[in-house]
Amino acid sequence: MGQPVIGVLALQGGVDEHLAALQRCGARAIPVRRVEELDAVDGIVLPGGESTTMTRLLDIFELYEPLRARLADGLPAYGSCAGMIMLATSVDDDRTAAVRPLGALDVVVRRNAFGRQVDSFETDLDFQGISDPVHAVFIRAPWVEKIGAGVSVLATVPEGVDDATTPDTTEREGLAGRIVAVQQGAVLATAFHPELVEGDDRVHRCFVRIVRGR
Ligand SMILES: NC(=O)CC[C@H](N)C(=O)O
């Protein structure tokens, strides 16, 4: 493949940061709001935002079904935060019937999983396939509750985040080891936002490599 064309779903959320990161990694990055734009891409990024709103906007822009179909057909995809929720097969949160995930990644995701005390936080974590730690920004992030057979775990929450972020013992438990980055074939997802970390495009570079590999 020559220069890959990678779309960023541009209905809401952190679109520009993803476009810029993809460009720096050698892709031609285009915002996607219409089916014709979706048809033109070799890969797609689903940014952060709000998965309930994203579901609604996908319907309004008549993109839900075309996007679901292209993903089912093997379109490489990367989702960050709300984007990860949208790529999942199921969302473990009974208050959010309003989220209709696209089913491209065989995982169960829990929305707003880190709870009140650790709502948003930053940490360095080890990321499979990237040699030095990655700085990860979590904003009302989900985590992956369950993975299917073909899914690899790329990153988990390190020890110590709990203590650094919350004084509340009841909410401290069980954060370390939570799954926050996964890959299944050409589908990549992170619960955090690499596009917000200036000067580090390594996760986007991984995705561009996945798209080129197709
Ligand atoms: N930063 C984000 O993308 C937050 C995700 C949001 N909490 C949701 O459930 O969709």
189 CA from centroid of ligand 1 (Å): 13
pLDDT in tens, 17-59: 999 999 999 999 999 999 999 999 999 999 999 999 999 999 9
Quote the pTM value: 0.94
- 61-67 own/partner pairs: CB under 8 Å, 24+ apart: 61/11, 61/33, 61/34, 62/35, 63/9, 63/11, 63/32, 63/33, 63/34, 63/35, 63/38, 64/100, 64/102, 66/35, 66/38, 67/9, 67/38, 67/102
**Number of structural domains the chain divides into:** 1
Ligand 1 pocket check: which of 8, 54, 112, 143 to mutate, most ligand atoms within 8 Å of Cβ? 112
- Residue 79: domain span: 5-212
The residue ranking higher by pLDDT, 114 or 87, is: 87
| CA–CA gap between residue 184 and residue 29 (Å, rounded) | 22
| CATH number for position 207 | 3.40.50.880
Residue of minimum CA distance from atom 6 in ligand 1: 50
What would the mean pLDDT of 72-92 be, rounded to a whole number? 97
pLDDT in tens, 132-162: 999 999 999 999 999 999 999 999 999 888 6
